[in-house]
Amino acid sequence: MTQTPATQSASGSAAPLVPPGGTPSPIPDQRGFFGHPRGLSTLFFTELFERFSFYGMRALLILFMTAAVEKGGLGFDKTKAGAIYGLYGAGVYLTAMPGGWLADRFFGQRRAVLYGAILIALGHFSMAFPSVNLFYLGLLLIVLGTGLLKPNISAMVGELYPEGGARRDAGFSIFYMGINLGAFFAPLMVGTLGQRVDWHLGFGLAGFGMVIGIAMYLWGGRNLGEIGRKPRSAGERNGEQGKKASPVPALALAGALVGLLVVLQLLGMVELTTAVGLNSAGGFIILTLAVAFFVYSFIAGGLDATEKRRLGVIGILFICSTIFWAGFEQAGSSLNLFAEERTDRVVFGIDIPASTLQAINALFIICLAPVFAWVWVKLNKRGLEPSSPAKFSLGLVLMGAGFLVMVAASLASEGSAKVSPMWLVLTYLLHTLGELSLSPVGLSTVTKLAPHRMVGQMMGVWFMSMSLGNLIAGRVAGQLGTDPTSTFGAVAAVGIAAGVVLALLVRPIRRMMGGVH
């Protein structure tokens, strides 16, 4: 997924720039980067190179794992490789929650971003060496580093605009463009080097990209003033919530789940020593935690009737989000494998690497995001803008339609035939349209529906849907085998069916939303 800046909608306005002592922090120069604060340029280029490293490695990941050992790969079967890919993608989203927590209480956002960037670079460089153990270590370091960097760099962008409003939204749009520029160039450069020269050199180039990002972050730090330099005070963290929420119940539930899995392992009912087993266990824990959160909030969350109905809407959208990302996140797994094995990639006499096709989604985002923004504004002025559930429904149908295209492509590639890359291009176009209909809408809708005192918690739960979707996407990719038609057909059926059901429920869901559009 070409990621949106996740924390930009976490509250109605930017966090106040007031340290524990109560004296306002110096606000950096508010002009200098396309009419925006100079600090935006620092964060823009840091995020650009972080995404360059992330999407570059992602373009190679499953191809490297499934490549034969004699060709420099790991020689994993698709089931194992897909499970590992899913665990990695899920971990990136899950660590965003503790990453933000650590920054708030210990590091401050400034240092959290730096520490995260260093861990990411070390992770890529670990994968630059031909060792299975270093490969796993590299994935772990990248997951931990991304969890520190992603939520905190987005939060720092928001703090550049203490006034909030449209200018802040425009700043995030520029920041979002940096994300997609990095995501576009990474597969072309990292993917080509990795597939055409040496896998490990590709991973090394991703690490070098992150080093450039670190250098630009340190060099441009003066443009950020005091933003993110100190941890937030207890008052700032708790805001209007009053009594500080205790983490004990959540930790106790997580511990109980882990204990249950250990018991099931000892009884031989699950297998936690394999990637597939860990993938299933991860999905079980995430789903249980999400269900427990919703049940607890309904029963003991102190919510009134309107808040409970809105929480129910978030639960419905959580399920839809999981289904969407379970399909969309196969871009780097099953669709990448299809590009490698069943696609004729000779274009104008040049055999292009399969990994370079991963750049298509970012290119479409760059071209179409402004169009979508313009269309929604125009429809809103005429009173015709679809509601959030309707946009979700559209996103699900578009995702499913993309996999219908892949069903046709897989039928055309039966036997030894290879198909045109335009099948994948069309699929990525439909998926991008679905992403633009659903992803930013989901983030915004959750912040509007969640009770104000629970917005932070709810955003954490929302990321669980993306994490769970990644786990499912990895398992689906592992089932690709020699019959992709049935695999793609099943994903298309689930996506379209979910979209149609949601469309039929739009009116009752809107009533449950209590005036939120």
Q: Check which CATH number belongs to the domain holding 236 and give it.
A: 1.20.1250.20
Round to whole Å and give the CA distance between 256 and 151.
Answer: 28
pLDDT at 167: 75
| End residue of a domain, out of 243, 272, 289 | 243
The total of other beta-carbon atoms located within 10 Å of residue 214's CB is 18
Round to whole Å and give the CA distance between 249 and 254.
Answer: 9
pLDDT at 55: 94
pLDDT at 285: 82
pLDDT band at 16 (very low <50, low <70, confident <90, very high): very low
Q: Which residues contact 251 (CB under 8 A, 6 or more apart)?
A: none
Residue 20 clears pLDDT 60, i.e. is over it: no
pLDDT at 22: 43
**How many domains, the chain?**
2
Clarify whether residues 235 and 309 are in a common domain: no
Clarify whether residues 378 and 448 are in a common domain: yes
Nearest CA among 400, 371, 405, 330 for reference residue 61 = 330
Classified as helix, coil or strand, 504 is helix
Nearest CA among 510, 489, 162 for reference residue 310 = 510
Clarify whether residues 89 and 236 are in a common domain: yes
Between 122-126, 299-303, 305-309, 494-498, the lowest mean confidence (pLDDT) is in 299-303
Nearest CA among 399, 412, 403 for reference residue 344 = 412
Round to whole Å and give the CA distance between 203 and 182.
Answer: 15
Nearest CA among 437, 272, 453 for reference residue 364 = 437
Between 40-44, 48-52, 228-232, the lowest mean confidence (pLDDT) is in 228-232
Per-residue pLDDT tens digits for 367-403? 998 888 888 888 888 888 899 999 999 999 999 999 9
**9 vs 99, higher pLDDT:** 99
Which amino acid is located at 139 in the chain?
L
**284 vs 135, higher pLDDT:** 135
Q: Is 353 among the domain residues?
A: yes
pLDDT at 265: 61
For range 458-485, the mean pLDDT: 85
Secondary structure letter of residue 130 according to DSSP: S
Clarify whether residues 42 and 116 are in a common domain: yes
The mean pLDDT of the chain is 85
Q: Is 250 among the domain residues?
A: no
Between 80-84, 317-321, 407-411, 474-478, the lowest mean confidence (pLDDT) is in 474-478
Clarify whether residues 175 and 306 are in a common domain: no
Residue 26 clears pLDDT 60, i.e. is over it: no
Round to whole Å and give the CA distance between 496 and 325.
Answer: 13
Clarify whether residues 235 and 306 are in a common domain: no
Q: Is 287 among the domain residues?
A: no
Per-residue pLDDT tens digits for 357-371? 999 999 999 999 888
For range 199-211, the mean pLDDT: 97
Clarify whether residues 509 and 360 are in a common domain: yes
Per-residue pLDDT tens digits for 305-314? 999 999 999 9
pLDDT at 165: 65
Round to whole Å and give the CA distance between 288 and 486.
Answer: 29
Round to whole Å and give the CA distance between 266 and 229.
Answer: 47
Q: Is 253 among the domain residues?
A: no
Range from 34-38, 39-43, 202-206, 477-481 that averages highest in pLDDT: 202-206
Angle between helices 422-449 and 388-412 (to 10 degrees): 160
Clarify whether residues 320 and 445 are in a common domain: yes
Handedness of CA 134, 136, 139, 144 (dihedral sign): negative
**Sole residue written with tokens 């992150």:** 210
pLDDT at 11: 33
**259 vs 513, higher pLDDT:** 513
For range 116-134, the mean pLDDT: 96
Q: Is 368 among the domain residues?
A: yes
Clarify whether residues 99 and 229 are in a common domain: yes
Round to whole Å and give the CA distance between 116 and 177.
Answer: 21
Q: Is 263 among the domain residues?
A: no
| End residue of a domain, out of 243, 265, 286 | 243
pLDDT at 195: 95
pLDDT at 301: 81
Round to whole Å and give the CA distance between 412 and 359.
Answer: 24
pLDDT at 393: 97
Structure tokens at 71: 């060709």
pLDDT at 242: 41
Per-residue pLDDT tens digits for 428-449? 999 999 999 998 888 788 888 8
- Beta carbons of 90 and 463 less than 8 angstroms apart: no
Of how many residues is the chain composed? 517
Clarify whether residues 357 and 475 are in a common domain: yes
Q: Is 160 among the domain residues?
A: yes
- The whole domain housing 331 covers 302-517
* 247 to 3, 101, 251, 254: CA distances (angstroms): 28, 11, 6, 11
Q: Where are the alpha helices (DSSP H) in 163-274?
A: 165-186, 192-196, 199-219, 234-238, 248-266
pLDDT at 172: 82
For range 10-30, the mean pLDDT: 42
For range 394-415, the mean pLDDT: 95
Per-residue pLDDT tens digits for 221-262? 999 888 888 886 655 555 544 444 455 555 565 666 666 666
Q: Is 40 among the domain residues?
A: yes
Q: How much of the chain, in percent, has pLDDT values that exceed 90?
A: 53
| End residue of a domain, out of 212, 243, 274 | 243
Round to whole Å and give the CA distance between 122 and 142.
Answer: 8
Instruction: Please name every residue paired with 351 in a beta bridge, in sequence order, or none if there are none.
Output: 346
Clarify whether residues 93 and 184 are in a common domain: yes
Round to whole Å and give the CA distance between 227 and 183.
Answer: 27
Clarify whether residues 231 and 377 are in a common domain: no
Structure tokens at 47: 């995020």
pLDDT at 481: 67
